[in-house]
């Protein structure tokens, strides 16, 4: 069957497994829980009351719709396309992650769940989960690789202040992948809990369910871009860790052939194994953490270590939906290095007064190169998936190392 792009949408959110990737590769003990979540997801998708409750919570708790911001000084500096950003960093807790947390926690409540398990990399998904759990009176445990726990300390503090238990994971290379494995282990031991996966990855129905909740981002961009410019964008650019902010931005535009969709992965410090997290560039097909997709692997098929300056992009796998759309040629993939992302943070801060998260800065780094080569009547929209305050100690170390040392000395003397 030749797929029309409308069929893409049906395939992605549909009840049947129709894509080349995905699936449900989990221990038997989790199958009843996954079936329960799948049935509930099928029900709520078409339940107007549930969807209205979800949108009400997005408006009243998270602050949607988020701003669609023209970047005139930056665009003039680049000398090419007009660049806009979708400011998901203005969401409560600072990133797009709260959107799927609200959706999934409403669903968990509907299922009568009392305890939520989550994993987190940059801490944004954990922070958002902790906030929504506190608001809804649910118990919350968040797993975080030790390396991420140390480099994203501000978010650990916020999660704990919100009443969540944050468990640092000492296995593996102590990043997101290890946190996901620890969360799955907890779920196997406590299948009555609800596992709130933080991206469009994992076994069915998580990739589709995450996309269903996040697609509000693209729906808003469509309206806001039409209102601001009278037409649709030419390019949408998003960073890709697991794929939630990218799919949230892209989904509504899958039918619009004139809109080019660009995912930007972490190019890290170079293309050698262990130095990056570019799954679509260098990953191989495999099955891991419950789903079939592209993963960074060594020659024996074991999961390879990853690296990125941003804790949210150094995940070893990619959403089966994005993998499928990439193979189909609908989404194009690029990389941006650590250095380019750090430079992009400063450029956006100095030209437009906006400090993006290091994850989002990868999308900006590529968008700057792209926009500079495009004619002035082109429109490029970048997903600012999060704000940069959480990266204080990482960017400060890079931009003002002496000042950070001084601050650390003061803290120690405190
Ligand atoms: C601000 C921000 N953007 C992007 C990501 C990457 O995740 P995803 O690809 O699921 O959007 C993260 C993950 O932690 C994040 O915190």
Q: How many CB atoms lie within 10 A of CB 72?
A: 13
Mean per-residue pLDDT of the chain? 96
Same domain, 274 and 190: no
pLDDT at 127 (0 to 100): 97
Q: Are residues 132 and 47 in the same domain?
A: yes
pLDDT digits (tens, 9 = 90+) for 355-411: 999 999 999 999 999 999 999 999 999 999 999 999 999 999 999 999 999 999 998
| Joined tokens for residue 73 | 């000084």
pLDDT digits (tens, 9 = 90+) for 284-309: 999 999 999 999 999 999 999 999 99
C-alpha span between 128 and 276 (Å, rounded): 26
CB neighbour list of residue 183: distance below 8 Å, 6 or more residues apart: 117, 118, 119, 143, 195, 197
Average pLDDT over residues 339-350: 98
Mean pLDDT of 164-184: 95
Q: Is the pLDDT of residue 148 over 60?
A: yes
Strand order in the sheet with 165-169: 165-169, 139-145, 115-120, 194-195
CA-nearest residue, atom 14 of ligand 1 = 312
Q: Please pick, among 62, 86, 119, 337, the residue that the annotation labels catalytic.
A: 119
Provide the 10 A C-beta neighbour count for residue 413.
Answer: 6
Q: Is residue 271 part of a domain?
A: yes
Mean pLDDT of the region 108-113: 98
* Nearby residues of 308 by Cβ (< 8 Å), 6 or more positions away: 266, 268, 276, 277, 314, 338
| pLDDT tens per residue, range 128-144 | 999 999 999 999 999 99
Distance CA 60, CA 288 (A): 37
Same domain, 380 and 347: yes
Judgement on whether residues 73 and 111 belong to the same structural domain of the protein:
no
Which residue matches tokens 């990439």? 326
Instruction: Mark whether 302 and 233 lie in a shared domain.
Output: yes
**Count of structural domains, the chain:** 2
Let me know whether 72 and 34 are in one domain.
no
- Is there a single domain that holds both residue 53 and residue 75? no
Separation between Cα atoms, residue 124 and residue 359, nearest integer Å = 11
Based on the domain organization, do 221 and 311 belong to the same domain?
yes
pLDDT over threshold 70, residue 81: yes
Query: Of 210, 233, 260, at which residue does a domain stop?
Result: 210
Residue 379 resides in a domain: yes
Res. 2: pLDDT tops 60: no
Is the pTM higher than 0.85? The answer reads: yes
360 lines ligand 1 (CB under 6 A): yes
CB 264 within 8 A of CB 239: yes
The answer to whether position 233 is within a domain reads: yes
Q: Is residue 11 included in any domain, yes or no?
A: no
Give the domain extent around 203. 28-59+96-210
A 10 A CB-CB count for 211 gives 25
Of 86, 97, 113, 390, which is the active-site residue?
97
Residue 205 is predicted with a pLDDT of: 97
Residues 193 and 48 in one domain: yes
Q: Is 119 a catalytic residue?
A: yes
Q: What is the mean pLDDT of residues 39-46?
A: 97
User: Is-contact 365 340, C-beta < 8 A?
Assistant: yes
Per-residue pLDDT for 193 more than 80?
yes
- Mutational test site, ligand 1, from 280, 354, 359, 382, max ligand atoms within 8 Å of CB: 359
The answer to whether position 144 is within a domain reads: yes
Mean per-residue pLDDT for 210-227?
A: 98
Q: What is the mean pLDDT of residues 185-207?
A: 97
Report yes or no on 73 lying in a domain: yes
Distance CA 186, CA 117 (A): 8
For ligand 1, say whether the CB of 248 is within 6 Å of any of its atoms: no
111 within domain boundaries: yes
342 half-sphere exposure, CB direction, 13 A CA radius = 16
Flag whether pLDDT at 60 surpasses 80: yes
- Out of 127, 148, 313, give the residue to mutate to test ligand 1, the one with the largest number of ligand atoms within 8 Å of its CB: 313
Beta carbon of 242 within 6 Å of any ligand 1 atom = yes
Residues 373 and 279 in one domain: yes
- Could you give the CA distance from residue 119 to residue 51 in angstroms, rounded to a whole number? 25
| Cβ 338 under 6 angstroms from ligand 1 | no
Let me know if 163 is exposed, middle or buried by CB neighbors in 10 A (0-12, 13-18, 19+): middle
Q: Would you call 110 a catalytic residue per the annotation?
A: no
Q: Could you tell me if 257 and 328 are in contact, meaning their C-beta atoms sit under 8 angstroms apart?
A: no
Quick one: which atom of ligand 1 is closest to the CA of 246? 11
Q: How confident is the model over 311-333, as a mean pLDDT?
A: 96
* Domain endpoint, select from 195, 210, 225: 210
**Which of 210, 227, 248 marks a domain boundary?**
210
Q: Residue 14, class by beta-carbon neighbours within 10 Å (0-12 exposed, 13-18 middle, 19+ buried)?
A: middle
CATH code for the domain in which residue 50 is found: 3.40.50.1100
pLDDT reported for residue 1: 46
Please tell me the distance from the alpha carbon of residue 118 to that of residue 343, in angstroms, as a whole number: 32
Q: Is there a catalytic annotation at residue 352?
A: no
- 53 and 182 inside one domain: yes
Q: Ligand 1 centroid to 385 CA: how many Å?
A: 7
Task: Give domain status of residue 408, yes or no.
Answer: no
Evaluate: CB of 121 within 6 angstroms of ligand 1: yes
pLDDT value, residue 411: 87
Q: Is the CB of 122 under 6 A from ligand 1?
A: yes
Residue 244 is predicted with a pLDDT of 98
Task: Examine the domain organization and report whether 52 and 70 are in the same domain.
Answer: no
With beta carbons less than 8 A apart as the criterion, state whether 311 and 152 touch.
Answer: yes
Band of pLDDT at residue 37, cut at 50, 70 and 90: very high
Q: 178: CA distance to ligand 1 center in Å?
A: 16
**Whether 119 contacts 180, CB under 8 Å:** yes
For residue 357, the ligand 1 atom closest to its alpha carbon is: 1
360 φ, ψ (degrees, to nearest 5) = -60, -30
């Amino acid at each position: 069957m030749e797929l029309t792009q409308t069929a893409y949408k049906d395939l992605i959110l549909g009840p049947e497994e129709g894509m080349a990737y995905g699936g449900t590769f989990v221990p038997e003990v989790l199958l009843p829980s996954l079936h329960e979540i799948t049935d509930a997801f099928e029900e709520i998708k078409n339940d107007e009351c549930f969807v209205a409750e979800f949108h009400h919570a997005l408006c009243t708790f998270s602050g949607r719709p988020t701003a669609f911001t023209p970047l005139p000084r930056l665009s003039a500096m680049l000398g090419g396309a007009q660049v806009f950003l979708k400011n998901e960093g203005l969401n409560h807790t600072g990133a797009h992650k709260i959107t799927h947390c609200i959706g999934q926690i409403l669903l968990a409540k509907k299922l009568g769940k009392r305890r939520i398990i989550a994993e987190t990399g940059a801490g944004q998904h954990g922070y958002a989960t902790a906030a929504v759990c506190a608001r809804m009176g649910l118990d919350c445990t968040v797993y975080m690789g030790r390396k991420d726990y140390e480099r994203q300390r501000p978010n650990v503090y916020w999660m704990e202040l919100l009443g969540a238990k944050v468990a640092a994971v000492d296995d593996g290379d102590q990043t997101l992948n290890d946190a996901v494995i620890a969360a799955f282990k907890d779920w196997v031991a406590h299948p009555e809990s609800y596992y709130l996966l933080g991206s469009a990855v994992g076994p069915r129905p998580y990739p589709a369910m995450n996309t269903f909740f996040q697609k509000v981002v693209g729906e808003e961009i469509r309206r806001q871009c039409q209102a601001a410019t009278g037409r649709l964008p030419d390019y949408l650019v998003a960073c890709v860790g697991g794929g939630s902010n990218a799919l949230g931005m892209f989904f509504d535009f899958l039918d619009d052939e004139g809109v080019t969709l660009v995912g930007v992965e972490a190019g890290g410090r170079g293309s050698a194994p262990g130095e990056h997290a570019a799954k679509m560039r260098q990953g191989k097909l495999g099955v891991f953490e419950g789903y079939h997709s592209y993963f960074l692997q060594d020659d024996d098929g074991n999961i390879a270590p990853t690296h990125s300056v941003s804790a949210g992009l150094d995940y070893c796998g990619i959403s089966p939906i994005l993998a499928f759309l990439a193979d189909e040629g609908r989404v194009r993939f690029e990389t941006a290095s650590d250095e380019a992302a750090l430079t992009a943070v400063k450029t956006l801060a100095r030209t437009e007064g906006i400090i993006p998260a290091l994850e989002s800065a990868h999308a900006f780094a590529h968008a700057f190169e792209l926009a500079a080569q495009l004619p002035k009547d082109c429109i490029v929209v970048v997903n600012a998936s999060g704000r940069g305050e959480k990266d204080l100690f990482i960017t400060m170390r890079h931009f003002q190392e002496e000042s950070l040392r001084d601050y650390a000395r003061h803290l120690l003397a405190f």
